[in-house]
Amino acid sequence: MSETESSTSEVGELSRRPGRERGRDDGKFGRYGGQYVPEALMPAIEELADAYERYVLNNEDGFMDEFRERIADFGGRPTPLQRADRLSERYDTEVYLKREDLLHGGAHKLNNALGQVLLAKYMGKERIIAETGAGQHGTATAMAAAHLDMPCTIYMGERDINRQRPNVFRMKLNGSEVKPVTTGRGTLKEAISETMRDWAETVEDTHYVIGSIVGPHPFPVMVRDFQAIISEEAREQVIERTGGLPTDVVACAGGGSNTMGTFADFVDDESVALHAVEAGGSTLEVDEETGVAPNSASLYTGDEGVLHGARTKLLQDSDGQIMESHSISSGLDYAGVGPELAYLVDEGRVDPVAVDDDAALEGFHRLSNTEGIIPALETAHAFGYLEEHHEELGERVVVNVSGRGDKDLDAAIEETDQRDVANAPDMSMFTGGM
Amino acid sequence: MGNSEAIAAAFDGGPAYVPYLVVGDPDYDSSKAYVEALDRGGADVIELGLPFSEPIAEGSTIQEALVRSLDAEMTPDRFFAFAEEVDVDAALVCMTYYNLIYQYGDSEARSASEASGEAASTGPRPFVERAAAAGIEGLVVPDLPGEEADPLREACDEFGLDLVFIVAPTTRGDRLDELMGRVSGYVYVQARLGTTGARDDVSNQTTESLDRLREYDVPKAVGFGISTGEHAERIVAGGADGIIVGSALVDVVADGVENDRSTADVADRLEALSRELKEGAERGYRSRAETVESA
Ligand SMILES: Cc1ncc(COP(=O)(O)O)c(C=O)c1O
């Protein structure tokens, strides 16, 4: 399809959004998805599926109206679509940035957290629990819970607590309880398991706000629908700005909520290439001996399996044991990925790519010093991809800036110190003061 | 109703004592001695845990046991070898998570499919076939609700294994009917909400659950939280056909690891606790019979 065919008349058809029908009724995306959870959780999941249909899909009691109003007033939507002049020049292509880093809390995570906490309220639940990796989802959930006056407990891996102290403080500032998880390597995977254990005990009055498009149905579709507001706006904005669709859309993928949120309304635009950028970590090779994948590239290198309630692509060994993953960014450090993305990759609709820690760190510095935007280390992977692959991209690229990097400054200083990053600032004269 | 005669026999004419231990905890040989001790202590069915790295239905006691076993390099193949070697009279049931079942034989299928150019036939069948060959009589899969269980159900029917489902305090109405339509061997009645773990008291949710299940003609074994003979007595007196005990036994193994006890010492303790639990169950059964007679 050529650019001329994608005219502004498409804006008028936005409301239909057939791309969002996928997985809605049965939670299946081809062979992926489903509901693999302990029986004790099944009634709650059915109750949630019912609430999703009534409130989110059918706007019962004006739920979606209230959500839209709050995500505008409290959240600060719509976020801008900004042209990145220096990057456009550098790559000789038009680069547009969808500024989710300007959403309240500093990341796209609030779209989903606010949606789910509000839904819990409509469902009459009394307590919120959540897991968090980078602390971004935990922070967003803590903010939404404070805003809507719900008590909230957040599970976070011990290792991630050490990497993301500012976010731990923010969660506590907002009145949430933060519970450290010490099992395994103390990252997102373990935090999800621990939150599911809490939920199994408290399911009757508690809602689990899962942080990505992972988990049992209806979470993957529901989280996608809350996050799809990113692509809904981006698509309208880019058409309005340029008169046409982008050639490429780029977003980083951990669990995949940022990716699906950014892709959702472009999936049916076949001319638009969709690139999901995963954390390549230190290498894509897997250490079978220690059961460690020094990356988090489950779309790129993973195998089909069942984890945390869904069948999807996973980093696992030949027996089916889940591997410990790695990434410089805690928000991408997860051995699984959303079932919808796994499906779209198999269908050839989404292009899975991996960017390693070094390239992500360069991306972090590049966006900071060329555009004046300090991105989250998660987001920086998308810019690492741009640097490495810009020659393969078309003439108009939209990149989602999924979050801002304030939370990552400590980690970025430490990681930069350990490497020879060409475009990093020279801090040697300030070392005493840091 | 059920595929395995051994499991049916275990629930015939008296309360079944169904202990659980993690195979390979803290190592292969010790756990063999421990499982044999359960058998001497009166086990009718033994649930053997095959460790998975993300055991979301497990509390900390069993979770740590699974980690010990994985650290000692337990794998599905070593698990099956264990089932073949262990010397017990009780019927053996494998308790594990779905990914291990689903994944087993998958790498072979994948390489074969790469060779033939056809799509890989993944699924639970190779695991069930191997389990049957190793003398396993049934499966319990805590992260597999009835909704996703048809492929495994079919494989179990093909190879003569029972597929045990867990009924939670929250399972009611149509879900309960559907689950009970798929279950075979026995139904695992979860005594309270939450994850596994020994408790000082056992929940009165049990009585309510047993009442709801009365009309279904499948043996009902109650688990989650039972740790003493007195609990066992009460649960069986309340109408259970069997008791399932996991964390209390795993605690004995963990205590052995922490205090550096000999394998024989830990095995003796397990045998003694087993006897207490089994006798408690039998007392409960007798008191129930007496109540019925005097009524
Ligand atoms: C800024 C930011 N971007 C991206 C992600 C990746 O998560 P997901 O792929 O689920 O959106 C995270 C997760 O914490 C994040 O904080």
The 10s digit of each residue's pLDDT in B254-277 is: 999 999 999 999 999 999 999 999
Beta strand ranges found along chain B (DSSP E): 16-22, 45-49, 91-95, 136-140, 162-164, 166-167, 187-190, 220-223, 242-245
Q: Is A109 a catalytic residue?
A: yes
Closest to A160 in 3D by CA, of A130, A196, A136, A128? A136
Cα-flanking dihedrals φ and ψ of residue A77, to 5°?
A: -85, 160
The reply to whether residue B168 touches residue A39, judged by beta carbons under 8 angstroms, is yes
Q: Poorest-confidence range of A192-206, B118-132, B226-240?
A: B118-132
At A83 the pLDDT is 98
Q: Is A402 a catalytic residue?
A: yes
Structure pTM?
0.93
At A10 the pLDDT is 43
pLDDT of A6 strictly over 70: no
At B288 the pLDDT is 85
The 10s digit of each residue's pLDDT in A131-167 is: 998 899 999 999 999 999 999 999 999 988 988 889 9
Q: Which of A139, A213, A227, A329 to mutate to test the pocket of ligand 1 (most atoms within 8 A of CB)?
A: A329
A175 touches A145 (CB < 8 A): yes
At B199 the pLDDT is 76
Q: How much distance in Å is there from the Cα of A260 to the middle of ligand 1?
A: 11
Q: Is B47 a catalytic residue?
A: yes
DSSP assignment of A128-182 equals EEEEESSSHHHHHHHHHHHHTT--EEEEEEHHHHHH-HHHHHHHHHTT-EEEEE-
Closest to A212 in 3D by CA, of A276, A295, A269? A276
Confidence class for position A14, pLDDT limits 50, 70, 90: very low
pLDDT of B129 strictly over 80: yes
Confidence class for position B196, pLDDT limits 50, 70, 90: confident
Confidence class for position B111, pLDDT limits 50, 70, 90: low
The reply to whether residue B170 touches residue A203, judged by beta carbons under 8 angstroms, is yes
The 10s digit of each residue's pLDDT in A189-242 is: 899 999 999 998 899 999 999 999 999 999 999 999 999 999 999 999 999 999
The 10s digit of each residue's pLDDT in A115-138 is: 999 999 999 999 999 999 889 999
Catalytic residue, from A6, A329, A402, A407: name it.
Answer: A402
Cα(B141)–Cα(B124) distance, integer angstroms: 12
pLDDT of A24 strictly over 50: yes
The 10s digit of each residue's pLDDT in A320-333 is: 999 988 899 989 99
Residue range A283-287: mean pLDDT, rounded = 83
Q: Poorest-confidence range of A241-250, B1-10, B243-252?
A: B1-10
The 10s digit of each residue's pLDDT in A30-88 is: 999 999 999 999 999 999 999 999 999 999 999 999 999 999 999 999 999 999 999 99
Q: How much distance in Å is there from the Cα of A326 to the middle of ligand 1?
A: 14
At A433 the pLDDT is 46
pLDDT of B179 strictly over 50: yes
At A246 the pLDDT is 98
pLDDT of A381 strictly over 60: yes
Report the mean per-residue pLDDT for chain B.
92
Cα(A426)–Cα(A424) distance, integer angstroms: 6
pLDDT of A431 strictly over 70: no
Ligand 1 pocket at CB < 6 A: A 107, 133-134, 136-137, 212, 252-259, 331-332, 376, 378-379, 402-403
Using a pLDDT cut of 90, give the percent of chain A over it: 80
Tokens of B211: 């009442």
The reply to whether residue B99 touches residue A307, judged by beta carbons under 8 angstroms, is yes
Residue range A89-113: mean pLDDT, rounded = 98
Beta bridge partners of B153: none
Q: Which residues of B touch A39 (CB under 8 A)?
A: 142, 145-146, 165-168, 170-171, 179, 190
Report the mean per-residue pLDDT for chain A.
92
Catalytic residue, from B36, B47, B137, B271: name it.
Answer: B47
Q: Which of A164, A402, A407 to mutate to test the pocket of ligand 1 (most atoms within 8 A of CB)?
A: A402
Q: How much distance in Å is there from the Cα of A88 to the middle of ligand 1?
A: 24
